[in-house]
Amino acid sequence: MGHKIEHPPGAAALSSSMRDIGYSLDTAIADLIDNSISACAGMVDVHFREINGENIIAVVDDGIGMDEASLQQAMRLGSSVKDNRRRSSDLGKFGLGLKTATYSQCRMLTVASRQDGKIVAVTQDLDEIDRTDKWLLTLHNGMEIAKIPLLDCLPKSGTLVLWRKLDRLDAKAVSAEIAALEHHLSLVFHRFLDGEATGKKLEIKINGKQVECFDPFCRKYQATQHFAPEYVAIAGARVKITPFVLPHYTKLTKSEYSFYNKISNFYDNQGIYVYRNKRLLIWGTWLSTASRSEITKLARIQVDFSSDQDDYWVIDIKKSKTRLHVDVRKQLSRLLPGVLESSSRIFKRRGQAIAEVNPDKSHTIWERRAASGKVFFDLNRNHPLLQKVLTALDGTDRQLFKNYLDAVVRQLPVNLIYSEFSSDPNSIETGVEPDDVLLNKLNELYHAVCIESGCGWNDFLSMVKIIPGLSGRDDLLSKISKEA
C-alpha cells in the first residue's frame, strides 16, 4: 500500500498566479475594509502617500487589533476559522482576501497591529518568495517596528496594512483611482456608513476626506416607492427581498441628481443588489431575470442573505460574483413584473403629461403617431403659429418651407437624443432666457396667433403652458400685453 506525503504548491508560482485573480484597486481596498469591519472598527483611514520617493498605500483602522499569533494566522493563505463558521458580522469568507487583494496591487505587504498596548508587525515580500520559493514572513522587532511608515497613524487599538512596491499603480492616474475608490466605497459599504448595518455609523476617509454614504435606493425621498419585503427560507435562514422604484429624475434637485449620477447613471444602476451581511456584493445587473431597458431603469431589488447561507450562494474570491439560489430566482420571477411595470408607469405618465395639460392637440408642436406597430413623430401642421407663417408666404415659398419642415422631421436625431437623455437627462437644455427676453417673445406670439388670427386667450394659455419653462409661470404670463 502506498504512503502519503505532504505536497505543498510552489510558493513562487502560486504567489505569481494569485496576482491575476481580477481585482481592481477599489475592490482590493474594499476587501481590506471587510477585515476592518470584522474587527469591529468604527473608523477606517485610507492613505495614498509618497515617502522618500516611494508611493505607498495604507489602510488604518481602530478595530480590536491582533496579537502575534493572530497576526501570523491572518497572513496564512486560507486563514478562515475552524469549519468555516463565521460570526454574522464577519465579512470574510475564504481567508484569502488580505493576501490576494494585496498582491493584486503590490509586491510587498507589511501589517502592524496594536492590541492591549503592544504592537506586533510582519512583512511579506514577493521578491523574497520568488528568490527562495518559500512562504517567508519577517517578524519585526521593536526597532524595526518603529521605522514602519505611517506607524504614528495607528490608534490605541487597531491595525495598519501597508502596501509597498506598487508595481501596478500608474502614478499619473492616482487622482482618477482615488475618485473611483471613493465612489466604490460609498456604495459597497453604504449600509455601514449610514449606521443601518451595525447601529453605529462607520467612518471611512481617503486622504482625510470623508466618504459619503450613497444609497442606491433613494430611500430618503418621499417619491421613492417602497414595496413590502418578502422572504425565502434557505437552510433554516431567510433571504430578504425588498423591491424599490426610484422617483423620476425631475423629482430630485440638481445637486441630488448629480450626486446620484456620479456613481453611475440611472440606466446602469437598475437591477438586483445582492448583500451578504449587509455588504454589497453585486449590483447593476438583473442576473438573467429580466432585461435592461430605458423604462425599467428606476427599478431596484435588494436581496439580503447572511454568511450562514454561504454554501447555497456561489461567491468568488473578490466577492463580486454570485449565483442566485433557485428559490430566490423563483420568487423574483413572481415579483419582477409588478416592480418593472411600476417603473414603466412613471415614464408613461410623464409622456401623458402634455396631453393632460393641453387636451387640445392642435396646440402641441410635435405629435406622436403610430402605424403598423411603429411609432414616429411629426410636426403639428395645424399649429396656429405655423398656419400664420404659411399664410404669410406665397405659393413657391410656402412649398419650399413645407419641404424644409419635412426634412426636419425625417432627420430628427432620435438616437442622439435618446443617448444623451439616457446618460444624463439634466444635461439636455431646451432653452433658458431672461424673463424680459421671454416676455417680448410671448407678446409677439400672442399678437400673431390671437389678435391677428383670432385665437382666444384660454387657447393661447393652453398653447404656451406646454412649453418647457413656462408651466407654472403665471407671474410671467400675466404680464403679456393684450392690447392690439
Query: Domain-by-domain residue ranges, the chain?
Result: 11-210, 225-353, 361-392+429-477
| 282, three cell numbers | 453585486
Buried b (16+ CB within 10 A) or exposed e, 97-107: bbbbbbbbbbb
Has domain 11-210 been given CATH number 3.40.1080.10? no
Interstrand relation of 138-139 and 43-51 (parallel, antiparallel or unpaired): unpaired
Closest CA to 94 of 267, 307, 413: 307
Closest CA to 92 of 114, 116, 68, 76: 76
Check if 11-210 and 225-353 are the same fold: no
pLDDT of residue 8: 80
Question: Are the C-beta atoms of residues 216 and 241 closer than 8 Å to each other?
Answer: no
Which residue in this structure is represented by grid cell 413657391?
A: 396
Helix (H, G, I), strand (E, B), or coil: what is residue 292?
Answer: coil
Burial of 307 (0-12, 13-18, 19+ CB in 10 A): buried
pLDDT of residue 469: 58
Global pTM exceeds 0.85? no
Q: What is the mean pLDDT of each run of 10 residues along the chain (484 residues)?
A: 82 85 92 94 97 94 95 81 49 66 95 96 96 94 95 96 95 93 95 95 97 92 91 90 89 75 74 94 91 89 89 68 85 93 80 49 69 75 75 81 82 73 60 70 69 64 63 70 54
CATH of the domain spanning 225-353: 3.30.230
pLDDT of residue 355: 46
* Largest Cα span, the chain: 114
pLDDT of residue 350: 59
**Cα separation, 49 vs 56, whole angstroms:** 5
288: alpha, beta or left? (left if phi > 0; alpha if psi -120 to 50): left
**Cα separation, 244 vs 225, whole angstroms:** 6
| 451, three cell numbers | 389678435
